[in-house]
A = this chain, B = another copy of it.
Amino acid sequence: MSKQEKLQSEVVERPDDMEVEPPTEPHTHIQPFEFLKIDDNVEERTALMILNQSLHGLNLRALWKRTNIHICADGGANQLFDYFQDKTNESSTALREQYIPNYIVGDFDSLRDDVRSYYEIRGTRVIEQTSQYSTDFMKAMSTIQLHFHSDTSRKHLREGEINNNNGIDVYLDTIKIVPSEQSDIKIYILSGIGGRFDQTIHSISQLYQLNSSHSHLQLFFLTKDDLIFLLKKGKNYISYPAKSSFHHARKVPVCGLLPLGNSTIMLSSYGLKYDVSNWESRIAGNVSSSNGLSGINGVIVDSSDPIVMNIEINLELS
């Protein structure tokens, strides 16, 4: 919302810190900062996807450690390779050797030859998919689904003969995944938002579309400024260990609720710095930007339709 709307009647200003109990009614529970846990257990169904924009300033290495598989979409592999160019205080080539992705997929109009062969001889499965019926983002998403579906599909992906036009999607179609029968897969995406604006909006479009068609896929876009994800229709409980775990500087990390799904949204919240109730939100009207998290361990957002949320982060890079 603009600061103006914050002061209107359906908006309440909260203290910087407040207790928020999880809802007792049915709700969607989202834990966006699980990737920051510092134990050594890696959740099985987690993936890191790297797209083709600079990784500069991103917490790549922490995220890598916390995710089970790592996949580059086309020129994303160039970005991964180049990321280790400027680490001057360690041998960059030695460090690069430790970050070998499981897969590189795409139409390869961007992938450099030197990068391809570097990763290929180190065990990366490189799968060319020349079809122009889907984007590199969508090809990487299909690969992740196949990887986690079964031992058979994983083996096929790793070793099988895959038609280099659209073999991944053809194989995925034969499997007929039923989202409601699947355990969730968490997918963290680097460089999907913040570069060329049509790519940013393609990412947001995918976020909405996959929520309808593949509800077991939980997407989290990470930029150097924030984490971006979708809240579901209905009551959402967004929880975290402590605000200081993802923002080292602010007592009230900034957040926004962004109605990008082409409908007017009715919002109610509990635990935001400027809590709203029955607040109508749309792009050409009220938008809750520059809001903040007051809830010590979580906030509740009730939305009449899926809505994008972003939370500011400020992490030490390692």
Question: A287, B132: Cβ atoms under 8 Å?
Answer: no
For the complex, what is the distance from the CA of A263 to the CA of B312, rounded to whole Å?
28
User: Which residues of A (211-240) have their CB < 8 Å from a CB of B?
Assistant: 212, 223, 225-226, 228
Among A2, A198, A205, max chain B CB count under 10 A is at A198
Q: How far is the CA of A131 from the CA of B256 in the complex (A)?
A: 20
How long is the Cα–Cα vector from A312 to B289 in the complex, in angstroms?
26
List the B residue with the shortest CB-CB distance to A193: B197
Max chain B CB contacts within 10 Å: which of A258, A285, A289? A289
Question: A177 interface residue, CB < 8 Å from B?
Answer: no
> A264-318: which residues lie under 8 A (CB-CB) from chain B?
264, 282-285, 287-291, 308, 310, 312
| Interface residue count on the A side (C-beta < 8 Å) | 52
In the complex, A208 has a CB within 8 A of chain B: yes
Chain B residues with Cβ below 8 Å from A4 are 132-134
CB distance from A198 to the nearest CB of B (A): 3
Q: Is A259 an interface residue (CB 8 A)?
A: yes
Q: Which residues of chain B come closer than 8 Å to A284, judged between CB atoms?
A: 205, 208-209, 212, 261-262
Contact of A283 among B3, B208, B312 (CB under 8 A): B208
Closest to A225 in B: B196
**Shortest beta-carbon distance from A228 to chain B in Å:** 5
A-B residue pairs in contact (CB < 8 Å), sample of 7:
A2-B138, A3-B133, A196-B256, A197-B256, A197-B308, A198-B256, A262-B282
